[in-house]
Amino acid sequence: MRSEARRAARKAESSTILRVLARAGFAANGVVHVLIGSLVLAVALGGRGESDQAGAFKALAAAPFGFALLWVLAAALWALALWHVLDGILAPRGSAAQKWGRRVSEWSQAAVFLVIGILAASVALGARPDADETAADVSRGVLFVPGGVFVLGGVGAGFAIAGVAFAVMGVRRSFVAKMRLPDGPVGHAVTALGAAGFIAKGLSLMSMGVLLLVAAFKVDPDAVGGLDAAIAALLEMPFGPALTLGIGAGLVLYGVFCGFRGRYADL
């Protein structure tokens, strides 16, 4: 049964169409991050708007033919999610810990792209979600069940750890191992984009994790929020506007890097 699943996964992953769609998924993820980074920059400079995925999709929906582009983004993100699912199934043989570590990593990424694609599709269909309000509602339910404080704290710690992991990948440039970059200026430029982008992405995830940990510590669901709430809280801190500008610019760079990743990813 396992060998049949691996053969089916290998056959699907070798499909040219799926490879093209997966590359498009990286590019779609890049578009999303460029939009989010632009919104973060606008908020840091005194503007108004939701500086998260929902805000980015709602801004896109307001543009001419935006709903059509949202469907394109959703389809590409779902294709990338499928690629990560298959990559998890085809985890290289080794110890059980290594194999399942790879699977958890791949399937976690698949879940993220699946959810973002669903969010894009829901906005294309007319929904106008509020990520901060949804996060507060979910956290309110979690906090008032036995052990809910620890669950919420664990989720916050997970976001913070993921943020640290992204930042470390940026500093160490370990993402290069999953790409086939050309030698010369182009390869160096893409590596620099990725380093700055991964660090900025890490900082944004860490800020969300801190909000969740604070909410769990204070048992206050109103303190919970997504990236938009994290940016708002960051702006209230000393040097917050400058740091927010840096995160916004970094997310834009990460988005541009994702476009190049679609071209040079080692699939």
Which structure tokens are listed for 70?
A: 């949202």
Amino acid at 110: A
Q: Is 105 exposed, middle or buried (0-12, 13-18, 19+ CB in 10 A)?
A: middle
User: For position 210, what pLDDT does the model report?
Assistant: 80
CA dihedral 71→74→78→81, nearest 10 degrees, is 160
The per-residue b/e assignment along 249-258, b for 16 or more CB within 10 angstroms, e otherwise, is bbbbbbbbbb
pLDDT at 49: 65
* Distance of alpha carbon 83 from alpha carbon 13, whole angstroms: 7
The two tokens of residue 97 are 């810990």
3-state secondary structure of 68: helix
Which two structure tokens, joined as six digits, stand for 189? 């430029």
pLDDT tens across 154-207, in order?
A: 878 888 888 899 899 999 999 988 888 888 888 899 999 999 989 988 888 888
| Averaged pLDDT in 10-residue chunks for the chain of 267 residues | 65 76 91 88 77 77 84 91 84 69 81 87 79 61 67 81 90 89 89 91 84 72 64 77 85 91 86
∠ Cα 214 166 45 (to 5°): 65
Neighbour-count burial for 112-130, b at 16+ CB within 10 Å, e otherwise: bbbebbebbbbbbeeeebb
Look-up of token digits 């998924």:
25
Contact 159, 223 (CB under 8 A): no
Res 71: pLDDT: 93
Taking each helix axis as running N to C, give the angle between helix 227-235 and helix 131-143, from 0 to 180 degrees, rounded to the nearest 10: 100
Q: How far apart are CA 131 and CA 224, in angstroms?
A: 10
Task: Say which residue the tokens 């982008």 belong to.
Answer: 197
- What is the Cα–Cα distance from 77 to 236, expressed in whole angstroms? 34
Q: Token digits for 126?
A: 């007319």
Q: Which residue has the tokens 């499909």?
A: 15
What are the structural domain ranges in the chain?
Answer: 2-264
Strand segments, DSSP code E, in 128-199 are none
